[in-house]
């Protein structure tokens, strides 16, 4: 269809309407509709339970102020000279950042993938019914967000971040510098990767095994399904589609619906 008009032309109304409908049709073809998640806030609410924080496990050893100060100093000493300090976020740091950032962009960590691979007995699980938490584990690749930290009190910011991300000794997720690919080239970034020597490491679990745990586990921070829900939703909002997490949220939704249907 070709439609041309010069300024001052009398354009028939029916031709204007036809042209408008044609443009609408083109837009509907070129603009993909957002994916609809199977896991919903309503399904997550079905497995939520109001629980009291049991507190630190007396059988575990925890990092203290001196530990965090030493780890922070060591990590920043490894930062390449003259480079900005970037943080690679792949899970809750995307939707619940601990510290402010001054710039962001998408990036891909090659050689790492998201995995619900360590057990938690606090926060999103209990000692009686442990949950599962996500980390970067070896192999594959992972799309996420890069956040550039400001220079104001950088040691203080990183120290605060570390206190959130790991508490026990040895840490389940330990900080390390990784190389992240972006549209503008590669950048070094701090990431939290799975420590396979940690007691909580669960190894490689099948999607069905992970879904079984996430569909019922809950701690005083809320259900494991809530963590999955927010992670997938915010990744999609950032234009990052993780097909494995997408399939997992479908599986968790099915299991919650089957378990809680009357």
Between CA 170 and CA 63 the distance in angstroms is 9
Contacts of 68 by beta carbon, 8 Å cutoff, 6+ apart: 159, 162, 163
8 Å CB contact between 171 and 201: no
Burial (CB count <10 Å: 0-12, 13-18, 19+), residue 254 = middle
Residue 139: helix, strand or coil by DSSP?
A: strand
Query: Hey, what are 109's tokens?
Result: 């960590």
Residue 134's CATH number: 3.10.490.10
Classify residue 31: in a domain, yes or no.
no
DSSP letter (8 states) at residue 43: H
Classify residue 156: in a domain, yes or no.
yes
Sort strands 185-194 and 86-89 into parallel, antiparallel or unpaired. parallel
Classify residue 134: in a domain, yes or no.
yes
DSSP letter (8 states) at residue 122: S
pTM of the model: 0.86
Classify residue 66: in a domain, yes or no.
yes
Return the sign of the alpha-carbon dihedral for residues 248, 249, 254, 260: positive
Sort strands 185-194 and 173-182 into parallel, antiparallel or unpaired. antiparallel
What pLDDT score was predicted for residue 8? Answer: 55
Between CA 117 and CA 210 the distance in angstroms is 9
Classify residue 7: in a domain, yes or no.
no
What pLDDT score was predicted for residue 34? Answer: 77
User: Of 141, 151, 249, 246, whose CA–CA distance to 191 is shortest?
Assistant: 141
Range(s) of the domain holding residue 131: 39-260
pLDDT, averaged in runs of 10, over the chain (262 residues): 50 56 55 83 98 95 98 97 95 94 97 98 97 98 97 96 96 97 97 97 98 98 98 97 98 96 78
What pLDDT score was predicted for residue 261? Answer: 87
Classify residue 183: in a domain, yes or no.
yes
What pLDDT score was predicted for residue 18? Answer: 63
User: What Å distances lie between residue 15 and 26, 38, 50, 162, 226, CA to CA?
Assistant: 17, 42, 61, 63, 51
Classify residue 2: in a domain, yes or no.
no
Classify residue 21: in a domain, yes or no.
no
> What is the number of domains present in the chain?
1
For 12, other C-beta atoms within 10 Å of its C-beta total 9
What pLDDT score was predicted for residue 2? Answer: 46
């Amino acid at each position: 269809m070709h439609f041309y008009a010069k300024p001052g032309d009398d354009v028939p109304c029916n031709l204007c309407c036809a042209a408008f409908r044609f443009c609408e049709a083109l837009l509907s073809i070129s603009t993909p509709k957002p994916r609809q998640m199977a896991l919903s806030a309503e399904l997550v609410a079905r497995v939520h339970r109001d629980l009291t924080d049991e507190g630190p496990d007396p059988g575990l050893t925890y990092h203290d102020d001196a530990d965090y100060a030493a780890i922070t100093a060591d990590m920043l000493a490894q930062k390449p000279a003259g480079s900005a300090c970037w943080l690679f976020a792949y899970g809750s740091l995307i939707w619940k950042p601990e510290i402010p950032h001054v710039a962001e962009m998408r990036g891909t960590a090659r050689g790492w993938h998201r995995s619900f691979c360590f057990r938690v007995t606090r926060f999103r699980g209990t000692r009686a019914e442990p949950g599962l938490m996500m980390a970067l584990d070896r192999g594959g690749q992972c799309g996420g967000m890069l956040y550039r930290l400001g220079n104001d009190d950088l040691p203080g910011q990183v120290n605060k971040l570390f206190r959130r991300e790991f508490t026990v000794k040895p840490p389940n997720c330990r900080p390390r510098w990784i190389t992240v690919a972006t549209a503008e080239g590669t950048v070094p970034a701090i990431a939290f990767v799975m420590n396979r020597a940690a007691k909580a490491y669960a190894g490689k679990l099948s999607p069905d095994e992970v879904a079984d745990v996430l569909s019922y586990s809950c701690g005083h921070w809320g259900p494991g399904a809530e963590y999955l829900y927010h992670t997938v939703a915010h990744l999609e909002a950032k234009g990052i589609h993780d097909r494995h997490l997408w399939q997992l949220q479908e599986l968790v939704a099915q299991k919650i619906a089957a378990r809680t249907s009357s």
